[in-house]
Structure formats: C-alpha cells, structure tokens
C-alpha cells in the first residue's frame, strides 16, 4: 500500500537512503525528483531536512501516482535510487 495525499496537502515525505547498507544522513548531499509513475527523473532539487530526517515536500501536484527519486551527489559515483511511490487524490 502506498501513501495517499489529498491534492491540497503540503506534506513532508521522509525517505530512507542507504549507501552500502549504511543510512545516509547528510541532506546537503541528496537531491530529489518527483516524476509521474512511468517517467524517469530529469529535474533534481535539493532534499528537505525536517526533524533529522531527509525527504521531499509534496505539494501542488495533480491527481495521480508519482515516484520519488534520490540522487547522492558524491564523487566519483552518483547513485540514483528509486525511493518508492505515492498517490495524490
């Protein structure tokens, strides 16, 4: 079951990102993207940090199902992670 948010909501959605099994906690090194269910990420924004958690703010989205992506801006590797889906109703 995925989270479902009314389209009028402004909601923080935490995401757990692990790198080699270790939780990643540095929000400054995480970019996020929200895409339609079958789309690939192309536009990245800074992640949001709230109460010690890394995540993304959900707001101003049309009704539908979306994917959350995270990108760790590390060097030399830049992993992109599909963090899961949510719905807007």
- Model pLDDT for residues 1-58, shown as the tens digit of each residue: 789 999 999 999 999 887 778 887 777 789 999 999 999 999 999 999 998 889 999 9
> Mean per-residue pLDDT for 73-84?
85
Please report the pLDDT score of residue 63 as a whole number: 96
Please report the pLDDT score of residue 27 as a whole number: 74
Cα 4-6-8 angle, rounded to 5 deg: 145
Measured from the Cβ of residue 74, the count of other Cβ atoms closer than 10 Å reads 13
Kindly list the domain boundaries of the chain, sorted by start residue.
Answer: 3-88
Closest CA to 31 of 74, 75, 81, 70: 70
Please report the pLDDT score of residue 83 as a whole number: 92
Query: What is the pTM for the complete model shown?
Result: 0.88
Please report the pLDDT score of residue 36 as a whole number: 95
For 16-49, letters b (16+ CB in 10 Å) and e give: ebeeeeeebeebeebbbbbeeeeeebeeeeebbb
Task: Domain 3-88: give its CATH architecture.
Answer: Sandwich (2.60)
């Amino acid at each position: 079951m995925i989270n479902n948010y009314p389209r009028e909501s402004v909601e923080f959605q935490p995401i757990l990102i692990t790198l080699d099994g270790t939780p990643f906690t540095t929000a400054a090194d995480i970019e996020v993207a929200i895409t339609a269910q079958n789309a690939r990420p192309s536009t990245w924004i800074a992640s949001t940090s709230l109460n010690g958690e890394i995540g993304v703010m959900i707001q101003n989205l049309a009704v539908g199902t979306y994917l959350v992506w995270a990108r760790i801006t590390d060097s030399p590797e830049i992993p992109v992670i599909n963090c899961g889906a949510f719905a807007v109703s």
